[in-house]
Amino acid sequence: MYSNQKKRNRKRTIVSRVTRWYTVFVAAIFIAMFSVALVLSDTWSSYTTRTELERATIGMASDLDDFESFDDGTYFAIYSKDKKLERGILPQGFHENAPFSPGRMSKYNSDGFNFYYFDTYNKDEQKWVRGIHSIKWLSNELQIFLLALIALAPLTIIIMRFGGRRILNHGLLPIKDVTNMAEDIARSRDYTKRIDASYKHSYDETARLASVFNKMIFSIQENFDKEKQFNQNVSHELRTPLSVIMAESEFGAKYTDDLESARESLEVINHQAKLMKDMTEQILELSKAEQLCWSDLDRLSLSELVTEYCRQHERKWVESGLKFDIQIQSDIWIYGHKLMLYRVLDNLVSNAIKFSKTMVLIKLERDQGQGFGENQKNISFKCEKPEEITDLTTATLKVVDDGIGISPDHIAKISDRFYQVDESRNKEINSGLGLGLSFVREIAELHRAEFKIVSEEGDGAEFRLKFIMC
């Protein structure tokens, strides 16, 4: 009972399974090979025996003066014209009156004995000559050869079994390393670990597997670090308004004696609650953007979308005191998500308004050349491009401000979630959540668009989105 349970609990590995089937397959090949060898050997032995018997009998009949009763395993007998045995030797089990078949190879069976015999007639001597040869299953030489093969077959199978198992173990070594590393990472949650793929005799498939696994772990580590940083930033950003809300609510409950003081506390609480609401909405927008795919996009006019946005905000912009330069080329069509593109445009323009001194430029135009810049290689596409797009004609949307600009050190990080430039650019009156440009980058990736920031300190900032036209 215990042994049966132990067998059931024993884990089956690829190596043991392949080795078992490999051994069975090799054994089957040996059995088939022996069977074919036996059939071919028997056929060949029978053919050579009959051919030699016919040749020897005809040769003996041609010269009866040198007649011999036995020669090299063949018995000879001379019969009279009326088929009576005169002289010669017949092997045991062969009857002297076996029927004659002139010029034909015949077969005779009696009491478990099997013979080939051949009859020919000598006209000059008027005698019949009969040659007889015992039918053996195999010749002695073939029997010894096949017995040697049968004796060596088990040893050969054993050697091939262990040799094949060793090759499999060596070939599947990276798979074992991948499994052990995956278990180690799952147990320790340390995503910095990698598989050593520098095997001296590694195979292409397993080496690629190790390489792909390392890339996957790197991607997981990168996403894990980003999510960890994101969670820390969310906690940090929420902690401030929550602390203010709690402090103001406690202050209002304990020390507020008149309506004016209570109103001040409520205004502070309302302001902080709005900040939390804005942050929650932007986080939800980011989450929604990450779930979208190219199949969710529709063919739309980017020219009309930008024009519509500018008309809706024209009155609001007049109140800002800034000059707006709007340049929009017509008939620019792309595959896009209208609501998401609207939010992207709003983020870019709102960002420009915050930091601009005198003017904001919004420009949409077709590109003279085709294709993308170097930054495109840094965009990880989530879906395949639809078949309807057959070329790479592009159009660029630019939002430019004449603010104090962004230093090169900050440009590479400014689209990270919750990242904000230092206080010199991000003044208290222009403070944000650090999610706007991260949202823009996510939507750019969804639309196969190149998102690029061009800026120098003290010389404004230019935000570009280059789209594939359709």
Higher pLDDT, 282 or 166: 166
Mean predicted confidence (pLDDT) in 141-154 = 71
Provide the percentage of residues in the chain whose pLDDT is more than 90.
13
**Confidence bin at 367 (pLDDT 50/70/90):** confident
- Between the alpha carbon of residue 291 and those of residues 278, 344, 381, 445, the distances in Å are 20, 16, 13, 12
Mean predicted confidence (pLDDT) in 153-157 = 78
Q: Give the tens place of pLDDT for each residue, 224-263.
A: 776 776 676 666 667 767 777 888 788 777 777 777 777 8
**Confidence bin at 425 (pLDDT 50/70/90):** very low
Q: Give the tens place of pLDDT for each residue, 302-337.
A: 999 999 989 888 888 888 889 999 999 999 999 988
Kindly tell me if the per-residue pLDDT of 98 is higher than 60. yes
- 3-state secondary structure string, the chain? CHHHHHHHHCCCCHHHHHHHHHHHHHHHHHHHHHHHHHHHHHHHHHHHHHHHHHHHHHHHHHCHHHCCCEECCEEEEEECCCCCEEEECCCCCCCCCCCCCECCEEEEEECCEEEEEEEEEECCCCEEEEEEEECCCCCHHHHHHHHHHHHHHHHHHHHHHHHHHHHHHHHCHHHHHHHHHHHHHHHHCCCCCCCCCCCCCCCHHHHHHHHHHHHHHHHHHHHHHHHHHHHHHHHHHHHHHHHHHHHHHHHHHHHCCCHHHHHHHHHHHHHHHHHHHHHHHHHHHHHHHHHCCHHHCEEEEHHHHHHHHHHHHHHHHHHHCCEEEEEECCCCEEEECHHHHHHHHHHHHHHHHHHCCCEEEEEEEECCCCCCCHHHHHCCCCCCCCCCCCCCCEEEEEEEECCCCCCHHHHCCCCCCCCCCCCCCCCHHHCCCCCHHHHHHHHHHHCCCEEEEEECCCCCEEEEEEEECC
Mean predicted confidence (pLDDT) in 201-228 = 74
Give the CA radius of gyration of the chain. Answer: 48
Q: How would CATH label the architecture of 292-468?
A: 2-Layer Sandwich (3.30)
What is the CB-side half-sphere exposure of residue 214 using CA atoms within 13 A? 14
Higher pLDDT, 52 or 12: 52
